Structure formats: C-alpha cells, structure tokens
Amino acid sequence: MMSNNQLQQFFESLENTQATFIQLNEEENLLKEKIQAIQEVFSKTIKADHQLNKESLFAIKMNEVKTSLEDAFKKWEHKINESLPMKALSESYKDRIIFLVFGKVNAGKSSFINNVVETYQRLFPDETVSRFYLDKAGEKQPFTEEKFAEGMTETTAQMQGVELGKHFVLLDSPGLHSVTEENGHLTQTFLDSADAVLWLTSSDSPGQVQELEELKSQLVKGKPLFPVITRSDDKEEDWDDETNTLVEQFVDKTDENRRLQEQNVYDRLREKISEDDMKQPVSISVFTYKQHQNLERSGLNRLFTQLGELIAQACEYKGKKAQAQLDNFIQDNVVAFFKDQQKNDLMTLIRELKQEIVASTARLAENQKMIANTIYLDIDSQIFSIVNRHKDSANKVAIIDEISQILQKILTEELAKRTAKLGATFKEITASLQADHIDDFEAEFVTYSQVKGSVGKSIATSGGAAAGAAGGAFFGSALGPIGTIAGGALGGLIGGILGSKGGDYLVETETVKERTGFSTDKLEKSIRRELRSIVDSLVDKTIKETCSQLKPVETICSNIEEEANRILTHYQR
C-alpha cells in the first residue's frame, strides 16, 4: 500500500519543478508573426498584377482562389484571437504545471479533481488551495463553492480549475462531445494551455472510438498524456429484510476485470497511436477510496506513481510549450487547410486553372501560323478588285489607303476576338501599308513605224504610173491597135514600179511608242509581300502579349502550389 509519505513525496516533487520552467514571455507574439509571414507570402502572390478582363473565366477563377485564401486568413486571425484566453492562462501559470483533466461528458472528471484536492488539503493543511473558473473573456474568476459539482449529467459548463500550492494547477473541462457545442469547443480551445493531459474514460465503456481520435490528435502534438479508467466499480442491489428496502452498494471490480479493461484500452490506443512511451492505463475508483480510504484498493496508489513520472515529462514539455502551441496552431489550421484543399476545391481549382492556361498558350503558339494565314487570305481576296478599281487612274495612294483600312479592321476584329476568349486585354494595333514599300504602276506601250510626208510619196507614185503608160502607148503604136493597148498596159505596170521606188526616195518614216494601259503585277506582288510581313508581325506580337498577360496567373498558381507544399513539408507531422 502506498503511504501518505509517498503521496506527500508526489506533491512535494511539484515544488521542485520551478527550475525547469522556461519563461515564455517573448514567445507569445511569435504565433502572430509566423502566421502573418505565411499570409504575406500568399497575399503578395494573389495580389500579383495581371491584366485579364475581370469578366473572363480565368479572372473569375483567379478571384475564387483569392477569396478562398482571404477567407482562410480571416479564420486564422479569428482563431488566434480566440486562443488569446488560452495563451493568457499559459502566461499566468508559466511557473506552474498544468494538468488538464480531459474526457467525455460524465467520465468522472469533477469527482476526480475533488478527490485530489481533498487529499492535498489533508496532507498540506497550510498550503493554499484556490478554485477558479474562466469567464467568457478568459479571465480568472474566484469559484465560491467548496467543491466542483458532481453528477451523472453534464455539470461543468465552463472551464474551471484549482491551484494547489505554488506550482500545480488542475483544469476541469466541460467535456468532449458536450451536449452543447460551445462547451465542447471550450475544451478544445484550452487543450493547448495544458502541460499534460489526464484522459479519463469511464469503465462503463472505456476508450470509445471518438475518444481515441481525440487522443490521437493530442499525442501527435507531443503533449504528455496519461489514460485513466474511472469508476472501476460495480453497483449491486440487494434486498434488506430488516428495512424492507432495496439497498444499492458499490463493489470493486475484480483485479482481473480491471487488468482486462486496461489492456483492451491500451491495445486500441496502440492501434491508433504508435507512441513508444505510451503509458499503460490505470483503473481507479474514487467511490472506493471515499468509502474505505484505501489507496491500494481504489487504484490511487498506481495513479500517483504514474503521475510522478508524468510531471517530469510535463516539465520538459512546458519548456517548449510556446513553440508547441505555435506548431499546433499551424498544424490545426494552416496545414489542415491546405491538406484538405489538396483533396477539395481550392488546390483542384488552382491545378485546373494552371493547366488550362498552359494549354491555352500552347494552342495559341501552335495556331499562330493558321491565324495569320486566315487574316492574310481574307485581305488578299480583296486586293484584285481594289487595284482594278483604281487601275485606270493609277492612283496608288488610294489603293494603299483602302487596303490599309481593311487590314486594320480585319486584324483588329480577329485578334480582339481571339484574345477576348482567353480574357486577355487586347491592345489596339496600328496596321497600314507603307507607300515606299509598294512598287508603282508600270505603263504598257506598243511600238510601230509610220511615214513622214505621205502625200509626196503618193504624187511620185501617181506620176510614175502616168509616164509609164504614155511610154507604153508609144511603143505599142508601132505595132498597130493591139500593140497600142498592150503597150499601154505594159507601160503602166513599169511606170507604177518606177513611181513607187521614186516615192521611197522622196519621203521619211518614224518609230511611234504608244501607251496602251498600266500593268499591276509588280504593284500587287509588293502589296502582298508587305501585307504578309505586317500580318505575321502583328499576329506574333499580339499572341506574345496575350501569353504575357496569362503568364502571371500561371505563375500565381505555381507559387501558391509551391508555398502550400512547402508548408505541408515543413510543418506536417
């Protein structure tokens, strides 16, 4: 049996812990600074400039990402403010060991604390014992009752506790899975203020699944934890013949029954939590102790032996509690947010948005030649009719102006339409043909010779014919009437020949070059060459500008992914 001297040694060990406490005053602002640093990284990322149209699909999705992160920031800020009472409690008890009595509603927490207080007062009658509760602002208020209420219903509706001497505090919580959401939340809020947790679970149904899940979250945080199976007794009913009444009495559970329950709880804990220093549960019965004042029989001797070991762990934890609180906050809020979002909406949205932008810019690059050809051919189809309209006047300026207007219109409409689909802001372009790059019309000529003085030639030709005819007639008269006729004909022929030759020697000829119209071949070729160059250049420029507007959004998505993964890698346990 454990003696009162041994019990006294346990409480006195608390008085020797002060030297191990590390002051936490400079650590309290660390959480806000760390969260603000995380927020600043994401804030700079989501505020990065992009020129996408606010009504575009990409811009709408980017705004959803921004809103989701900003909502998370607000929740983190709310959680920080919500945890201030817990931090204030940690600061006010920075030179004390805080044990939080933790468990389901009706696990016997208040009864357990009342019993510990009574034992302490009996051993140290001169030491101060102060009960308190925490109001809604987290401020300590004196608890005027001598004991905390006990019962089978939920009796604790606030955080309450008791200071034992100078270096020990027991916190009593409303209970996990409280009948009111506010009370259950209150318990969770103050878990981080504790240096160690006593998990009380009733022997009626010890170690239920919900409790094990809660324990897992606490042990993962590195907080010392000790499982205690309470109410390790049975109620028996018997008929009292003398009083003619039904008498109820509590009897201890057998040692075998307790051992089996302890092993069962331990085994199921190990399934959930693979901690090497997991403590074996201890079964206790406060009712047995009150009735028989027997530490051994009630199991309290084993309990206080284990608590002595727990104090050393709690002292070690307390020295790094501020950092642990910071890590726990980041783990429970920041890491949990990004871990959940990896499976759910935000990170999926970011991945999809990034993939769509990469695919869209790739398609633009792949389709650049096709886009340029479409625009070029649309304008080219109108060149022939425009040139012919001004061909007779050879008005090159009018042709350039008309084609330039069409070029400006088609380029603007087609490129604006394609950039609008991606949400990019279309920058106005100026497109016109340069006159000095366009060849001029070429005149077309025919060349031929013509005789100068054509009248003299005609006279010479006529005179020769007449003279020839007269000579022929004379020659023919010597031959008679027939000879006269034949001689006249022969003389005319000879005279004509002579007259013709004589005319050639009498007139001049000249070469005449006459314009028959204009050729447009070189003009059209130069127009098409210049048009091709302008279209290719402006399509390339617009696509590059569009991609440059999409790139910041892709970069934002990548940066969010990288920072989220960095946080998960750095902080995730």
Count of CA atoms in the C-beta half-sphere (13 A) of 163 = 18
Q: Two tokens at 280?
A: 């074996």
Handedness of CA 340, 342, 348, 349 (dihedral sign): positive
Separation CA 97–CA 336 (nearest Å): 29
Whether residue 352 contacts residue 561, with contact meaning beta carbons closer than 8 Å, is answered with no
Residue 183 has a pLDDT of 53
Q: Exposed/middle/buried for 466, CB within 10 Å: 0-12, 13-18, 19+?
A: middle
Q: How far is residue 162's CA from residue 169's CA, in Å, rounded to a whole number? A: 6
Contact 445, 515 (CB under 8 A): yes
Q: Count Cβ atoms within 10 A of the Cβ of residue 439 and give its class: 0-12 exposed, 13-18 middle, 19 or more buried.
A: middle
Q: 463 or 283, which is more confident?
A: 283
What confidence tens digit (pLDDT) does each residue in 208-243 have? 767 777 666 666 567 788 899 998 888 777 777 778
Distance of CA 119 to the CA centre of its chain: 57
CATH topology of domain 2-16+95-312: Rossmann fold (3.40.50)
* pLDDT score at 58: 87
Average confidence (pLDDT) over 140-146: 83
Element at 397 (helix H, strand E): helix 396-421
pLDDT higher than threshold 60 for residue 483: no
pLDDT at residue 506, as a whole number: 52
Exposure letters 319-341 (e unless 16+ CB within 10 A, then b): bebbebbbbbbbbebbbebbbeb
**How far apart are alpha carbons 374 and 370 in whole angstroms?**
6
Q: Are 31 and 326 in contact (CB under 8 A)?
A: yes
Whether pLDDT at 285 is above 50: yes
Q: Is the pLDDT of residue 160 over 80?
A: yes
Taking a C-beta distance cutoff of 8 angstroms, is the pair 13, 307 a contact? no
Q: Residue ranges of the alpha helices (H) in 29-101?
A: 30-46, 57-82, 84-92
Q: Which residues pair with 513 in a beta bridge?
A: 447
Phi-psi bin for 423: left (phi > 0), alpha (psi -120 to 50), beta? left
The answer to whether residue 475 scores a pLDDT higher than 50 is no
The share of the chain scoring above pLDDT 70, in percent, equals 76
Lowest-confidence region among 177-186, 422-431, 508-517: 177-186
In this predicted structure, what is the pLDDT of residue 540? 95
Tens digit of each residue's pLDDT (9 = 90 or more) over 65-88: 888 888 888 888 888 777 766 667
CA distance 331 to 284: 34
> Residue 252 in 3-state DSSP?
strand
- The pLDDT of residue 524 is 95
Q: Give the model's confidence band at 256: pLDDT under 50 very low, under 70 low, under 90 confident, else very high.
A: very high
Query: How confident is the model over 507-518, as a mean pLDDT?
Result: 82
Give me the helix-helix angle, 521-571 and 30-46, nearest 10°. Answer: 170
Backbone angles phi, psi at 198, to 5 degrees: -100, 110
pLDDT of residue 455: 45
Domain boundaries, the chain: 2-16+95-312, 346-438+522-571
Question: What is the pLDDT, as a whole number, of residue 462?
Answer: 47
Beta strands in 120-258, from DSSP E residues, in sequence order: 129-134, 140-142, 160-164, 168-172, 196-202, 225-230, 233-240, 245-252
Q: Which one has a higher pLDDT value, 135 or 254? A: 254
How far is it, in rounded angstroms, from Cα 23 to Cα 280? 32
Rg (CA), the chain: 54
Read off the tokens for 139: 């401020």
Judged by average pLDDT, the poorest of 17-31, 86-100, 334-348, 467-481 is 467-481
User: pLDDT higher for 354 or 317?
Assistant: 354
Q: How high is the pLDDT of residue 501?
A: 52
- Average pLDDT value for the chain: 78
Give the Cα separation of 170 and 307 in Å (integer): 13
Least confident window among 31-35, 295-299, 411-415: 31-35
Q: Which of 77, 113, 72, 560 is nearest to 347 (CA)?
A: 560
Residue 559 has pLDDT above 60, yes or no: yes
The encoded tokens of residue 249 equal 């009495």
Q: Cα 211 from chain centroid? A: 35
Confidence check: pLDDT of 477 > 80: no
Q: Tell me, what's the pLDDT at 197?
A: 87
pLDDT at residue 220, rounded to an integer: 58
Residue 520: the pLDDT is: 93
Helices (H), 196-299: 209-220, 255-272, 286-292, 295-298
Q: Token digits for 486?
A: 């034949």
What does the pLDDT average to over 535-540?
95
**pLDDT of 479 above 50:** no
Lowest average pLDDT, out of 146-155, 428-437, 500-509, 512-521, goes to 500-509
Strands 168-172 and 196-202, bridge-based pairing: unpaired
**Per-residue tokens: 528:** 């098409």
The confidence band for 474, taking pLDDT boundaries of 50, 70 and 90, is very low
Question: In angstroms, rounded to a whole number, what is the distance separating the alpha carbons of residues 385 and 395?
Answer: 14
The whole-number pLDDT of residue 178 equals: 47
Asked if 492 and 498 count as a contact pair (C-beta separation under 8 A), the reply is no
Q: What is the pLDDT of residue 317?
A: 81
Are 456 and 506 in contact, with CB atoms under 8 Å apart?
yes
Residues 371-400, mean pLDDT to the nearest whole number: 94
Q: What is the mean pLDDT of residues 405-427?
A: 90
Say whether 451 sits in a helix, a strand or coil.
strand
Token digits of residue 99? 């044990």
> Above 90 in pLDDT, residue 283?
yes
User: CA–CA separation, 202 vs 229, rounded Å?
Assistant: 6
Question: Which whole number is the average pLDDT over 135-163?
Answer: 73
Q: What is the mean pLDDT of residues 409-431?
A: 88
Q: What is the DSSP letter of 285?
A: -
Region of poorest pLDDT, from 264-273, 496-505, 533-542: 496-505
- Please enumerate in sequence order all residues whose Cβ is within 8 A of that of 315, keeping only pairs 6 or more positions apart, or say none: 17, 20, 21, 97, 195
- Residue 24's pLDDT is 44
Q: Which residue has the tokens 């009495």?
A: 249
SS3 at position 40: helix
- Strand, helix or coil at 45? helix
Structure tokens at 49: 């400039």
Looking at 124-249, list the stretches that DSSP marks H as alpha helix, in order from N- to C-terminal side.
181-191, 209-220
Element (H, E) at 120: helix 109-123
CA distances from 313 to 120, 223, 310, 376, 437 (A): 21, 9, 5, 80, 88
Let me know: does 31 contact 80? Beta carbons within 8 Å: yes
Query: Which residue has tokens 């990065």?
Result: 48
Give the span between the Cα atoms of 122 and 116, in whole angstroms.
Answer: 10
Question: Does position 151 have pLDDT exceeding 50, yes or no?
Answer: yes
Those residues whose C-beta lies under 8 Å from the C-beta of residue 366, and which sit 6 or more positions away, are none
Strands 245-252 and 233-240: antiparallel
Q: Tell me the pLDDT tens digit for each residue of 17-49.
A: 554 554 444 454 666 777 888 888 888 777 766
> Which residues have CB under 8 Å from 464's CB, separation 6+?
495, 496, 497, 498, 499, 500, 501, 502, 503
Reported confidence tier of residue 282, pLDDT bands at 50, 70, 90: very high
The pLDDT assigned to 507 comes to 66
